[in-house]
Structure 1
Amino acid sequence: MGKKTRNRASTADAGDNPRRPCPCGSGKRYKACHGAGDDVIVIRPFEGLAAEPDLVAMREFLPSATAALPVRSGGPVTLASVLPGASAAIVRDNGEVLLGMQVQTRSGDLSADLAGALAWARSAEPGSSLPVVGAGRHTGERLQDVLEPGTPLEPTVHADFAWWLPSESPDPEAQAMLERANSVIMPTEAVTADGVRGAYWVDTGSKAHVRWVRTEDETTLMAALARLSGQGGLELGEGSRYAGSFRAHGLLVPVWDVDREMHSSEWAGPAAEFAKRLDEAVAGLDATPLTESEHRARDVLAGKQITLR
């Protein structure tokens, strides 16, 4: 595995075991994901962007969300969790540009995919759509080259996919597609508070969770979580339980099971308090290394890897 200005891994590194998880972080087996090509897989494609945690959330688990993309030049662009038909990009009849995060791709660099889709949309005719984007549409630019790096995303999480159809009288086929998408959507809302970014509440039907995309180095984050565990400070608050974590595009996403009877907004205060505790734990790691019991706690937490359903 090599490293330049961003974390990268050759697919050849995984080729000796095609059944292992793909290094791209998709959660799929290597042979079913990037095992068919020679792409260089960028492990952390959105590194360096203030928008990174929300980009990962929109790619991985936000069902219906949109955000103004902070492009450096050109007209406004709307980023979407998913577009009709899982399109990579759509240019509406009025010229509005939308980019999709949850798309099919064979490329190993999601950042380059999005920049390529944006370049396509800038020159596409109104009413056009781009079904798939991959290395063949890369322009040499990545999101880091076209976005304001210090500007975060401000996603709007929608209760349904009504925003898919700008027309008040869609054709029957489009209406049927909309109804199918709405039937499987899981209620999701952002957890918003000072010091909290990239945290989202979701009701899966049987449980409610808070999923929180963290930007710390994984080793540092796991050590800080282990310290909080030893101090009894790992939960978000009463009615919550730390469930584990999953990896997504180079970042670790801790997950808590939370009381379904509580409104999503009720987790804002506890999340802000947890953020303070976590920051203090991270800051104290250099001065006070983990104790033997904290090392054991870290190993236990590292084994709590969960899978999204």
Structure 2
Amino acid sequence: MAKKSRTRNQPTATAPGEVGPRQPCPCGSGKRYKACHGSADGAAAAYVRRPFEGMPSECDVIALRELVPAATAPLTLRDGDRTVRLASLLPMAAPAMIRSTGDVWLGLQVQHQYGDPARDLAAVLERALATDEPGIVGLLDPPGEGPRLQDLIADTSLDITVHDGFGYWIDDVEDPDASMQAALEQANGAASPTVRLTTVEAAYWTDVGTKEHLRWVMPQPEDALLDALARLHAAGQDSLVGDSRLVGMFRAHGLLTPVWDLPLGTGAEALEEPAAAFDAALAEALADTSDLTTAQRSARAGLANRQVTIR
């Protein structure tokens, strides 16, 4: 009898930031990567690891798509003067809605996942801009080749408003009916209070009831950011306020989002100055290109082991 291969079940090595074949596919399908965008006959060519790269507000767009329940921002088109509003979430997770005014609302948190969210958003936006008829606009099939969201909007930073709830769903409705009000109340009940910090970019405080967190989407390359965070951790400089703790990080759309646990009652305002100070310390750590010490390498390994890929 032939011997069984000893390499059959051995894990496949992956570079930092890459998705292993047995890991969940970053497209959000729920399948393993090897059975989805990593398969030979799948949609591998469509999958874009960092889809929002090049947008001035890349980090905030990722936060609104993955972390923030209720937020909006106006979009300025490169061509045309149609009013377009980007939203974290629309009713029924609609990809886009044409309002009675003709305004276009574009949703980030949607059900479909075709491998390149920026291309999906652009395809939905183009369809919405092609009509004035009120209703929902979406995708039923992969959009194919074409422009991405970055190609359709002006190259300016987004003016983001974080809302207490989903009242923006009906802020253009003069007399919302009972069904609208009921859907709104249900959605508001599931939304955690969230605040965007003003002293740094793309950092969001949230209260999930049993804990408070700061989730901060950062634009630096993963390896450099991990090195810098490890230097700060080894030096005892990664805490924001008393009893806060850097507990891990998400990886979404090609960027890392460090997450801090905060004591209950901290609030967002108390984080403004500490976050700015941490940002300055992080910049210094990023500029340090010396080899990591033993303690720093240990800290880096610990941080790398506390990553969760969500997209």
Q: If the length of structure 2 is used for normalisation, what is the TM-score? A: 0.86
Match of 1:184 in 2: 190
Q: CA RMSD for the aligned pairs?
A: 2.3
SS of the equivalent of 1:256 reads strand
Distance 2:159 2:186 in 1: 27
Distance 1:172 1:132 in 2: 29
Match of 2:14 in 1: none
Preserved CA contact (<8 Å) 1:116 1:133: no
Q: Which consecutive residues of structure 1, in runs of 5 or more, have no partner in the other structure? A: 1-8
Residue 43 of structure 2, aligned match among 35, 38, 44: 38
Distance 2:280 2:160 in 1: 23
Distance 2:79 2:115 in 1: 26
SS of the equivalent of 1:135 reads coil
Match of 2:94 in 1: 87
Give the superposition deviation at 1:134: 4.9
Q: Percent identity?
A: 43
The letter of the residue matching 1:120 is: R
Give the superposition deviation at 1:175: 1.9
Match of 1:291 in 2: 293
The letter of the residue matching 1:126 is: E
Question: Structure 1 residue 127 and structure 2 residue 134: aligned?
Answer: yes
The letter of the residue matching 1:183 is: G
SS of the equivalent of 2:307 reads coil
Preserved CA contact (<8 Å) 1:44 1:251: yes
After TM superposition, the runs of 4+ consecutive aligned structure 1 residues lying more than 6 A away are none
Residue 57 of structure 2, aligned match among 51, 54, 76: 51
Question: Structure 1 residue 22 and structure 2 residue 12: aligned?
Answer: no
Give the superposition deviation at 1:254: 0.1
Q: How does 1:146-165 map to 2 (within 5 A)?
A: 146-149=152-155, 151-165=156-170
Match of 1:4 in 2: none
What is the CA deviation profile of residues 253-286 of structure 1, one whole-angstrom value per residue up to 9, with x for unaligned ones?
Answer: 000011221221110110000000000000112x
Give the superposition deviation at 1:126: 3.1
SS of the equivalent of 2:109 reads coil
Question: Structure 1 residue 102 and structure 2 residue 104: aligned?
Answer: no
Distance 2:133 2:209 in 1: 39
Give the superposition deviation at 1:306: 4.8
Match of 1:65 in 2: 71
Distance 1:291 1:30 in 2: 36
SS of the equivalent of 2:68 reads coil
The letter of the residue matching 1:161 is: F
Match of 1:5 in 2: none
Structure with higher Rg: it is 2
Cα distance, 1:256–1:307 mapped onto 2, change above 3 Å: farther
Match of 2:147 in 1: 141
The letter of the residue matching 2:23 is: R
SS of the equivalent of 1:45 reads coil
The letter of the residue matching 2:65 is: R
